[in-house]
Amino acid sequence: MSDKKKFIAARVAKELKDGDVVNLGIGLPTMVPHYLDPSISLTLQSENGFVGLSAKKPPEGEEKYIVNAGGQPVSIHPNGAFFSSADSFVIIRGGHVDATILGALQVDQEGNIANWIIPGKKVPGMGGAMDLIVGAKRVIVAMEHTNKGNHKILEKCTLPLTAKGQVNLIVTEMGVIEVIPEGLLLKEYNPEYTLEEIQAATGAKLIIADDLKPMI
């Protein structure tokens, strides 16, 4: 597949509904708004202190003044609002974020997620991930299925956890996987891959949905 990240972002965009308040993690998740259905209106929240984030590139000369939580220049809608980081986390911890979309180093069949540190490597900190994963009503992991051939979806995470049992959905270039009490349910698959290839790239047993359908 030529551009896995765009493919993943486009599929994740279909999970969002009109009126949602959504937080986007750094990297791939920031691409999601570019693939939203034009009829959908939602509010993007950034933990560094504002709601009303716009996917549009900021006007010339304003790039350095407004940045998202990852430090990228962004715009804000006319009806957006700025506030302190403390107030931003009141929104998150108060359960007012409908969905958070973020990447991961590892996810397992129990819905555990590890996405903030690899032991022995320098890290700037976990940011707002721990609060967001626990505070958001829905947690969607958007990531490539493997890392240089190594499994990222496992029976049990081996890296330090960011949160336990909070992941609802995993979207990769290979498929859409829902975390259910019985394990990992493959709901959609990318026809570019066989089910055998998807299973081989997954470090946990996949449950195949009765109504399995291709990703579109």
Could you list the active site residues?
A: 47
Token pair listed for 199 = 């299973």
CA gap 32, 5 in Å, rounded: 10
Look at residues 119, 216, 99 and name the one whose alpha carbon lies nearest to residue 161: 119
Beta-bridge partner residues of 183: 180
In three-state secondary structure terms, 35 is: helix
Q: What is the DSSP string of 109-124?
A: TTS-EE-S--TTS---
Amino acid at 163: A
| Beta-strand pair 153-154/106-108 | parallel
Q: Which helix H or strand E contains 184, and what residues bound it?
A: strand 183-189
Burial class (CB in 10 A: 0-12, 13-18, 19+), 94: exposed
